[in-house]
Structure 1
Amino acid sequence: MAGWGAASISLKVALIVLCLAFVIFIIGFATKGWAKTEYPSEIVEISRRIPIYVELELGLWRYEYCNKARYDYRYRDNDIRRYNRNRHFVCTTNDIDLFIGGLRYCADWYRAVQAMECLGLILMAGALILLFLYFFVDSIKQKKYLYIIIGLTFGAVVCIVIGVAVFGSKIKETTYVFYLYKLGWSFGLAVAGAILAFVAGIAEIVELRK
């Protein structure tokens, strides 16, 4: 008999945790907070130099480049008003291809990370869909489908972990204007999604052994 009420606790845990893993991973996958760096710079104009901080934030698909006021520089009040009015302190979002194309030896490993995270997303989505069907469709409630769900779940975990491991190791070796990157919150969400998917996979194995 299929349905939520007829399901075991381990199967309910697997579905809830895998749903949570999928949502968290999607947020990390789509956002720009995978890595970040900040460095002092200045905007050079004909009659003046404007001290700024440049903040660069990377995602898998987009990056954001922001000019911000220097907190270690004392602006005159009229300077701040003039710079804001002239839009010196702005953020620009661009396709990640524009960024990685300008860094030596960066494109190959970045593409590999994108591919692994995409594959992880596809496998996790497949596991989640099949798990829903396993819950509510009597004809799907068979051990062979649970084996497939477990394989998809752990396959997703492996792909995501490979991707974040490559990103985490390589981005720390990457410099931009001699300033190193720090891992960001989106990277953390991707890791959290993988951990939760692993927990869901364990719950699925517990269900299989019954």
Structure 2
Amino acid sequence: MATGWGAASIPLRIALVVLCLALVVFVIGFATKGWSHRKYASEISVPNLRIPVYVEYELGLWAYDVCYTDRTDYRFGSRAASLARQYYQCTDSDIGGFIRTLPCGDWYHAVQALECLGLILMVAALILLFLYFFVQSIKQRKYLLIITALTFGAVAFIVIGVGVYGSKIKDLHHKLGWSFGVTVGSAVLGFVAGIAELIVLLK
């Protein structure tokens, strides 16, 4: 049986290209701090002064940003304004700090674990699919079955993870962000790759 790109069927070529794209897209969503966000008005208390600020949270799976910005609806005197400016800042922290301050540790860690499993299975599926293309001993139906199972398994873990995150984060008054959408997009691409693999498997 011939190996290589030229010898592969069109559905299998589609599977390889789309699965590569799915992995790249997933890693972007997995690693970035745009899973959810929240902005609200608050105050910072300092000696003899209460500084109105907007507090903005930007959450990822592994880290988060919190920014304190000027509330343009409030006006200080010049001296107070100068003092207030030093409190307008952003900090980048490990997500553990956010989890410890709110009752979300169990489900947040579950989402992290599910997305990690999705990543592992997707990487494994892609590696095996490359080998299926170019290694004669791997070009067997049983290996294609394993590749297809790994692909759909990765999609399942990713979808369950984003489902839990999407349903739970709203309880904390956060809105879903772009990284969340990117991760969902990677699951869709992974599903398309799995369907292409399944077409080849069922021939």
TM-score bracket for this pair, using the shorter chain length: over 0.9
For the residue of structure 2 that corresponds to 1:172, the secondary structure is: helix
CA distance in 2 between partners of 1:35 and 1:41 (Å): 19
Of 176, 181, 186, which aligns to 2:174? 181
SS in 2 for 1:72: coil
Unaligned runs of 5+ in 1: 175-179
Instruction: Give the equivalent residue in structure 2 for 1:140.
Output: 138
* Aligned mates of 1:103, 1:117 — CA distance in 2: 21
Q: Which residue of structure 2 lines up, in the alignment, with residue 90 of structure 1? A: 89
Q: How does 1:62-73 map to 2 (within 5 A)?
A: 62-73=63-74
Q: Give the whole-Å Cα distance in 1 for the aligned partners of 2:139 and 2:76.
A: 68
| Residue of structure 2 in register with 1:154 after alignment | 152
Q: Aligned residue pairs: how many? A: 202
Q: Describe the superposition over 1:65-97 as per-residue Cα deviations: whole angstroms up to 9, x where unpaired.
A: 11112243346677666544x3x2211111111
Change (3 A) 1:13 1:71: farther
Residue from 113, 116, 119 that aligns with 2:114:
116
Q: 1:25 to 1:75 in 2, by over 3 A?
A: farther
Alignment correspondent of 1:195: 188
Q: Which residue of 2 aligns with 1:100?
A: 99
1:77–1:199 CA distance, 2 compared to 1 (3 A) = farther
- Change in CA separation of 1:76 and 1:25 when aligned onto 2, cut-off 3 Å: farther
Q: Distance in 1 between matches of 2:64 and 2:77?
A: 31
Cα distance in 2 for partners of 1:75, 1:157 equals 52
- CA distance in structure 2 between the partners assigned to 1:13 and 1:74 by the alignment: 59
For residue 15 of structure 2, what is the aligned residue in structure 1? 14
Identity percentage of aligned residues: 62
Query: Structure 2 CA distance, aligned partners of 1:186 and 1:77?
Result: 40
CA distance in 2, matches of 1:80, 1:131: 60
Aligned mates of 1:71, 1:114 — CA distance in 2? 37
Q: Secondary structure at the residue paired with 1:14? A: helix
Q: TM-score, normalised by structure 2?
A: 0.93
Instruction: Decide which structure has greater helix share.
Output: 2
